[in-house]
Amino acid sequence: PGITVALPFGDGKKRKRIIAFDISLEDISRFTSNLQVSGGGGVAVFTSNDRVIGVPRHPRFTTREAQREALLKRAVDFGWVLSDEAHDALASRNSANHAVRFSNEGEIYWGQRRLFALGPERSLWIVVLVPEKGILGTLMQLRTWVGSIVVIVLLIAFVRVFVLSERYSQPIEALARDTARISQGDLQGGADIDSNVTEIQELADAHERMRQRLRSLVRIEDDLQVARRIQQSALPERIPYLEGFDIDAFSDSADETGGDTYDVIGYRVDDSGRTIALSVDNADRALLLLADATGHGVGPALSATQIRAMLRMAVRSGTSLERIVHNVNQQLCDDLFGGRFITAWLAIVDTKNGSLTSFSAGQAPLLHFHADQQRTEILQADAPPFGIMRDLAVPAHSPRAMHPGDIFAVLSDGVFETTNADDEQFGIERAVDIIVNHHEGTAGLMVTRLRQALAQFSPGVKSLDDRTAIIVKREQP
């Protein structure tokens, strides 16, 4: 058995530390039994409930076994000169810090006790007894003995405190310095922390794992930023000029990289309809694409970029829309895995006859505003998404006439499914209203109003899906 004492204290830097030390009862008894008190006296230590924890120098307690047997016995029972009368005299309230004279078995003794507080509710009593005949000094000498014991106990305590503070504080301070360095963006390894305190070592190991994972996250973040720049650079820098048509588009990703993409590929054709060259300034036709790959992140972004690249190769080779759809679907069936697919809308705008021929693989609804009737036709998809069925049926489509003022709008599902704080979706009707209310404006104006409406509909709510739109307007002559 022993005594454990722990006290908190501050170091002036707004940090709290713990002072803790353990003292064995046998060590206390070994110390008190070796104290030489003149005239056959002795020093003993008791708890606040009169249990002995430090035996005095006495013939009965010369061996370790005798000392151990006496520990934690009551003051009147452990075999010293404390009779009931002597105990009562020393235990009286007025006797604290004052010498008391009493007799035991015909011999006169002087005794004194002093309180040593360990905390608000715990204390020790240090008792010194000296036969009157052996007193050679004054009562001040008794106080000196008691004071010496207190000083020695305090010295032992402070030594233990110093050792424990070094043991606990040094690794914690090192961890604090590393944390401050990491908060400044320095994720390089710091000094190795090797502590024999299990909790501190576990904390240091967790700190190192956190640092390594933060480095991995930073690398991933850098890679995503590069992928984002590559994806954005793949979008058209400038919409090709098509006489009689006004086209505009936008794409906003929900994450660093998105699964949506769009393209407007302008090209010139000869009299037989074969592609002569890609053109931005004076194109006869344009192949339009809006694609939405399932999911978010790098994988869907690569799939969306892949379909865009395939279309540009197809345009250069002069392939028909039906053949383009067939080849793209075949290739995506080979490349996509894990249940992934791509919804896509493809269309050819022809300036010579003012028509738009389109095919939708799972991309719906499509909005066609008829200016002469002031109504919006809502069209559905022509076939399932790319990458699901290898034998995809491609129905024959006649060119759709685009009369002056007509508008054809294709919006990804991320636009319709934008949700506000009340869990309400943006929906088709709001998109139609924007087109109807601004049909006399340019395609760019409608794109701007659409993006503004989305921002006002869900302020402060992070988009859960990419948002992409293409708007084609037949200009008035």
How confident is the model over 406-447, as pLDDT tens digits? 999 999 999 999 999 888 999 999 999 999 999 999 999 999
- 326-334 own/partner pairs: CB under 8 Å, 24+ apart: 326/392, 326/394, 328/386, 329/361, 329/386, 329/387, 329/389, 329/390, 329/392, 330/390, 332/303, 332/306, 332/307, 332/386, 332/387, 333/386, 333/387, 333/388, 333/389, 333/390
**CB atoms < 10 A from the CB of 271, how many?**
5
Q: Tell me the pLDDT band of 288, cut-offs 50, 70 and 90.
A: very high
Going along 88-149, which residue ranges are E strands? 100-104, 107-117, 123-131
Q: Tell me the pLDDT band of 22, cut-offs 50, 70 and 90.
A: confident
The full set of domain ranges for the chain reads: 2-172, 187-225, 237-474
pLDDT for 398: 82
Q: Tell me the pLDDT band of 204, cut-offs 50, 70 and 90.
A: confident
Q: Which CATH architecture has domain 237-474?
A: 4-Layer Sandwich (3.60)
pTM of the model: 0.57
Alpha carbon distance 465, 346 (integer Å): 21
| b/e per residue 236-270 (b: at least 16 CB within 10 A) | eeebbbbeebbbbbbbbbbbbbbbbbbbbbbbebe
Q: Tell me the pLDDT band of 267, cut-offs 50, 70 and 90.
A: very high
Is there a contact between 261 and 470 (Cβ–Cβ < 8 Å)? no
pLDDT for 416: 95
Torsion of CA 315, 321, 322, 327, to 10 degrees: 30
